[in-house]
Every structure is written in structure tokens, then in C-alpha cells.
A and B are shown apart, each in its own frame.
Chain A
Amino acid sequence: MIDPALLVAVPLAGSALPAVASRLRPRTGWPLALGVLLVQSVLAVWVAAAALAGDPVRTQVAGIPAPFGIGLLVDALSAPFVVLIALAALAVLAYTRRGGPRSGAFYSLYLLLIGGLTGVCVTTDVFNLYVFLEISGLASYGMVAQADRGAAALAALKYLLVGTVGASLYLFGVGYAYVATGTLDMAALRAALPAASDPLALAALGLMVLGLSVKVALFPLHTWKPDAYEAAPPGVAALLAALASTVAAYALGRLLLAVFPGVAEAVVDAALLGLAAASIVAGSLLAYRSESVARLLAYSSLAQFGIVVVGFVVATPTAIAGSVVHLIGHAVMKAGSFLVVGLLARTHDVRTVAEYAGLARRSPYVSAGFAVLALGLIGIPPTVGFAGKFYIALGAIEAGSWTAAALVLASTLFGLVYLGRVLERMYVGEGDTHAGPTGAASPGMYAAVAVAVLATLALGGVGPLVEGWLAPVLDGLDAGLAMGVVP
């Protein structure tokens, strides 16, 4: 059995290599990053397979027992995300060989981001989670600023200011949780919080949820997102769209399911459902009004994460499985879409919805790929986008939560409107059909897009599988057992 600490240690230790090596010999950053990520992917798949086949894989860092030491845990809830991070990083890396910034420092940040995000997924200590949140945050601010244009520096600064406020609010909540219970271990917190003083526990929950909502970018805490994703290099936008908010949403879900059940549930559920509804409606509206396709996709993320939060609020096993599937599916589809946007900007110099007119005739294969990804984001079967939404809606109906079910269905209609607008332009819009290509794309770029499109279709049937994996873990949480203890 391998130690889950390696999942964090390998990319963090590896992140020193590209920056140092590229000073000694130029252009060594990419192969080194590839090597580290290959090792990381093998480890991730190995640990996840062990966790899904049998008992969760856990370790205590430096052998200090819980609740005093920091625990690392890969269970059925975190395993899909650990694998997603490693594989998405590999796919986007193929794109950045020609398309991305190619400095050694960039690949160091890339590995730092992967290490930080994996840490958020595996840690069972709420303060440790803050540290990993900030490691991944710092890496992503630096990566957004890698674009040549000056606007990227301002977008990165805005991302930094808003993101740090979010992480600090989370830290504030950790402080309240510690004052209320005297522990930082998630399992110990869960046992101690219901007996703790109500105002302290509620303040801890409120601040931690608020802080993570900034990182997830729920409306109206989303302002960093469109600027950052539009200004970042396409490879970076794809990686962040796949992973940054996804991992924050995972952390939010883990806290709601494994740490805070029993603390003011009615109030928190109503507040989160309101936040999710605002995200779905406002995100769709802002996406509809966007001219730039990158901004449209960024705003669409608000609506999609709203749906994920609905699943965590409903919190039946079906709905939770739906949220996990939708998080993974959204990561694949949104990353693929951003890669297409970057590819088309390179090959045809188009960036706005108007400029996409008639693109299906000029670039039929890439357009067809984008169409599959967009239909997935809307939630049309047999894509993974449909599977996630279907399970969340099914869970909501089972739980008798009609507001939640209506929100999911409404989001699908909204998606049809704002993404349909792009598809309509591409396929029936009258555009400049004779303009030749303005630049070449590498095989790696096409391969990364193809992987995303195939995964969108292939993962469509993954719902029952995820539900089966999660069942024992959720049973354990329901029975009040510590996290990762399977009854």
C-alpha cells in the first residue's frame, strides 16, 4: 500500500525542478513537468483504485495520531478528484507544449498548483486545507499573470485580492471552529461541534462556507473569474476552469457532509439554496450577454457550480453522487471548451460570438468537438453533463425538494439559450467562410481537445458506478461515524 502523502509530496517536490533545470538548460521545463505528472497520475490511479476497491486509504503525517496530527485520507469521495486532477493536468500539459507559456517558472507553478489542489482533496485537517488552498491560489495567480498582455497582470491582481479575502474568511471560520471545539481534525470537529456553543459553531460554518463560496465563485462572489479566465493564456484558463473551482466545491461539499451536519441545517440549507439559485439565474444571464466566448464560458461556470451546490444541499445519496459526477463532468467539458477557444483563437483568430459565425464550415472537426462539449454543458444525453444533472434532479425529487428540482431543470433551459446562441452562430451564421487559417495548432492541442470530447461522451454512464462507490462512505457519515470509516 502506498502512502497518500506521496500524492502531495511528489508534485510539490517536483515543482522545484523545472525552474532550476531550465536555467541550466533551456526548454527542459516541459519534459520534467511531464515526468512528474506521469508519476503523479500512476500514484493517483493506484491509490484511488485501492480506496474504491476496499477500505479508504489513510495516513497520519509523521505518525502523530489523530486528532493531534494531520491526517490524509483518500476515500470514495476524494478518490475521483485526486484522479481528475492528475489526468486533467496531463491532458492540458499536452496543449501547453506549443500553446502555453513555455518558461521553466511556468511549469514550476503548474506542479505547485497540482500539489496544492491534491492536498485540498486529501487532507482531513481544516487548517491544513487552508494552507493547501493558499498554495494552489498563489500558483494560479502567478499562472494567470503569465499572459503577455498587461490586462493579465490586473486580472491576476484582482484574482489575488478576491481569492485571498475568500481564503482568509475561511481561515477566520477555522478560528471560530477551533475556539468552539479545541480541535482542527475534521472527524473530531464533527463529533464536538453539535455540543459546542451555537453562535460559535454557526459563525465557523458561515465564514468557512462564505470563504469557499468565493473560491467556487458563486454569484455575487464571482467577480474575479471572468477577468482571470479571459486574460489568462488558454492552457491556464482550461486548467483553472477544470480544477480550481472544482476542488473548492469539493471542499465545500466535504465540510457540509462530513463536518457540519447537525449545525443549524435549516438556516444553512436555505442560505445555500438561495446562493445557488442566484448563481444559476445571474450566471446564465451574464453568459447570455457576453460577447467574448471565454467570458461566456466563465459565467456559465457560475450556473454550473450553482447546480453542484444544489446537489450538496439536497444531500440524498443520489444527489451527492450527482454533484460528484457533475463536478467531474463540468471539469472535463469546461476545460475542453476553453482549449477549443484557445485553439480557434490561434488557427482562425476568432474570440467573440459574432466572430464565430460560419465557423463550422471553416473548421468542421473542431466545431463538432465544441458542439459536443456545449451540448454536454447544457445537459443533453448521452453526455456526462446529462448524467450529473439527472442524478441531482432525481435526488431532489426523491427528497421532495421541488425548488431544487426546478432549479436544475431551469438551468438546463438557460444553458440551451446561452450556449445555443454560440452553436447557432457557428452552424447557421453567415460568416467570412473564405478566410484562410491564421496560425497552426500542434497535434498536442488537438489531442487534448479530443480527450475532453471523448471523456464527455464516455463518462455519460458513470452515474450508477459513482453512486455505488459513494454508498458505503455516505452510510458511514449518516451513521455518525468518523470520516472514512466504513460500517
Chain B
Amino acid sequence: MLERLPYLAAIALVGIGLAVLVDDEHLVKKVLGLNVFQTGIFLFFVTAAAREGGSAPNVAKAGPYANPLPQVLILTAIVVGVSVTAVALALLVRIHAEYGTLREDAVRAAIEEGRE
């Protein structure tokens, strides 16, 4: 059971992140929820990379070792995640400058008002 714990943590993070993303009206919290959601997926990859009793091809030292490929993939995915967060924060700055609030319901109300 104990070795399954990181997988459960990964799934929990995915669920928590999605719940915050869907449920919270505050746009910054939505972006944070997205980050937590992605972190859960990253954790899944890194957990799957762990190898018990593994050995490295050219290092004699005793383990523990991990499969490097998923870790490299996640390094790339983290970079992508950081870029997405940066773009999201830039959009938030613009929304705040325009409407003076970061709550989605308030922004929508302001847009509706502008339309009429």
C-alpha cells in the first residue's frame, strides 16, 4: 500500500486542482488550481520513473535509481507550465487594469454593463 501512496497523492492533486479551477470565482485562484492540477500529473510521471533495485549502466554506486526519461519529459512539461502561467498572469494584469477586479462574476457583470 505504501508504495502506492505517491500515486494517490498525484490523483488527489489532480482532483483538488480541477475543483479549484472549476469552482472558485477568483481568477488568480483558477490559475493556481491549474498549476496544482498540472503538478499532480507531473508527480504521476516522476513516481512512475522510480525503480526499485535498478542499476545505472556506467555508475557502480548502489541505488536507488530512477528512469531518467520521464523526468526529462517532466522537465519540458514544467517549462511549458511556467510559460502558460506567465501568459495567464499577463492576461490577469490586463483584466485588472481594465475592470479593477479579479473576480470572474464581477468582470462578467462589467462586460455585460459595457454592452448595454
How many Å lie between the Cα of A160 and that of B37 in the bound state? Answer: 14
**Complex-state Cα separation, A137 to B34, whole angstroms:** 15
A106-159 interface with B by 8 A CB criterion? 127, 130-131, 134, 137-138, 141-142, 145, 150-151, 153-154, 156-157
Q: With A134-B80, A157-B95, A164-B34 as given contacts, are A151 and B87 in contact (CB-CB < 8 Å)?
A: no
Contact residues in B for A179 (Cβ distance below 8 Å)? 48
Q: Which of A138, A145, A175 contacts B45 (CB 8 A)?
A: A175
Number of interface residues of B (CB under 8 A): 35
Residues of B with C-beta under 8 A to A130 = 77
Closest to B77 in A: A171
Q: How far is the CB of B21 from chain A (nearest CB, A)?
A: 6
Residues A153 and B91 in contact, CB atoms below 8 Å apart: yes
What string of 1s and 0s marks CB contacts (under 8 Å) between A442-485 and chain B? 00000000000000000000000000000000000000000000
Question: Are A157 and B92 touching (Cβ within 8 A)?
Answer: yes
Looking at the assembled complex, report how far the CB atom of A212 sits from the nearest CB atom of chain B, in whole angstroms.
16
Name the residue on B nearest A133 (C-beta): B80
Chain B residues positioned under 8 Å from A168 (CB to CB) = 37-38, 41
* B70-116 interface with A by 8 A CB criterion: 70, 73, 76-77, 80, 83-84, 87-88, 91-92, 94-95, 98-99, 104, 107-108, 110-111, 114
Query: Which among A138, A165, A171 is the interface contact of B34 at CB below 8 angstroms?
Result: A165
Q: Which of B21, B41, B48, B111 contacts A161 (CB 8 A)?
A: B21
Decide: B95 and A138 in contact? CB cutoff 8 A.
Answer: no
Describe A's contact surface by its main secondary structure. helix
Residues of B within 8 A of A418 (CB): none
B18 within 8 A of A: yes
A390 at the interface (CB under 8 A from B): no
Cβ contacts B1-41/A at 8 Å (1 or 0 each)? 00000000000001000100100000100110010011001
- Set A131, A138, A145, A151: member contacting B84, Cβ < 8 A: A138
Report if A338 contacts B (CB, 8 A): no
Contact A160 B111 (CB under 8 A): no
Q: How far is the CA of A171 from the CA of B27 in the complex (A)?
A: 24
Chain A residues with CB below 8 A from B80, complex form: 131, 134
CA A165 – CA B73 in complex, angstroms? Answer: 18
A172 interfacial contact with B, CB 8 Å: yes
Partner of B94, one of A127, A141, A153, A165: A153
Chain A residues positioned under 8 Å from B92 (CB to CB): 157
Inter-subunit contact B91/A175 (CB<8 Å)? no
A160–B94 Cα distance when bound, in Å, is 15
Among residues of B, the one whose C-beta sits closest to the C-beta of A135 is B80
**With A and B bound together, what is the CA distance between A151 and B109 in angstroms?**
11
- Closest A residue to B89 by beta carbon equals A157
Q: Across the two chains, which residue of chain B brings its CB closest to A144?
A: B91
Q: Is A178 an interface residue (CB 8 A)?
A: yes
From known contacts A138-B84, A160-B84, infer whether A178 and B41 are also in contact, taking CB-CB under 8 Å. Answer: no
**Interface bits A56-76 vs B (CB < 8 Å: 1, else 0):** 000000000000000000000
Q: Which residues on B sit within 8 Å (CB–CB) of A134?
A: 80, 83-84
* CB neighbours of B94 from chain A (8 A): 145, 150, 153
A93 to B66, CA, bound (A): 48
Q: Determine if B87 and A138 form an interchain contact, defined as CB atoms under 8 angstroms apart.
A: yes
B37 CB to nearest A CB, Å: 6
Q: How far is the CB of A318 from chain B (nearest CB, A)?
A: 38
CB-CB under 8 A from B95, the residues of chain A are: 150, 153-154, 157
A450 to chain B, nearest CB (A): 33
Task: Tell me the minimal C-beta distance from B54 to chain A in angstroms.
Answer: 14
Asked if B111 and A154 make an inter-chain contact with CB atoms under 8 angstroms apart, the answer reads: yes
Contacts of A160 in B (CB 8 A): 84, 87-88, 91
A138-B84, A145-B91, A172-B41 known; A150 vs B99 contact (CB < 8 Å): yes
Pick the residue among A153, A165, A178 that contacts B98 (CB under 8 A): A153
Distance A108 CA – B53 CA, assembled complex (angstroms): 49
CB distance from A151 to the nearest CB of B (A): 5
Cα separation A128 to B86 with both chains bound (whole Å): 22
Q: Of A137, A138, A175, A179, which is in contact with the most chain B CB atoms at under 10 Å from its CB?
A: A175
Cβ proximity bits A244-269 to B, threshold 8 Å, 1 near / 0 not: 00000000000000000000000000
Q: A154 near B87 (CB under 8 angstroms)?
A: no
Q: If A165-B21, A171-B77 touch, does A141 touch B48 (CB 8 Å cutoff)? A: no
Other than the known A138-B83, A164-B34, what 12 A-B pairs have Cβ atoms closer than 8 Å? A134-B80, A141-B87, A150-B99, A154-B95, A154-B107, A154-B108, A156-B91, A157-B88, A157-B95, A165-B18, A175-B44, A175-B45
- The list of the 3 closest CB pairs from A to B, nearest first, reads A150-B98, A153-B94, A157-B91
B residues near A (Cβ < 8 Å) are 14, 18, 21, 27, 30-31, 34, 37-38, 41, 44-45, 48, 69-70, 73, 76-77, 80, 83-84, 87-88, 91-92, 94-95, 98-99, 104, 107-108, 110-111, 114
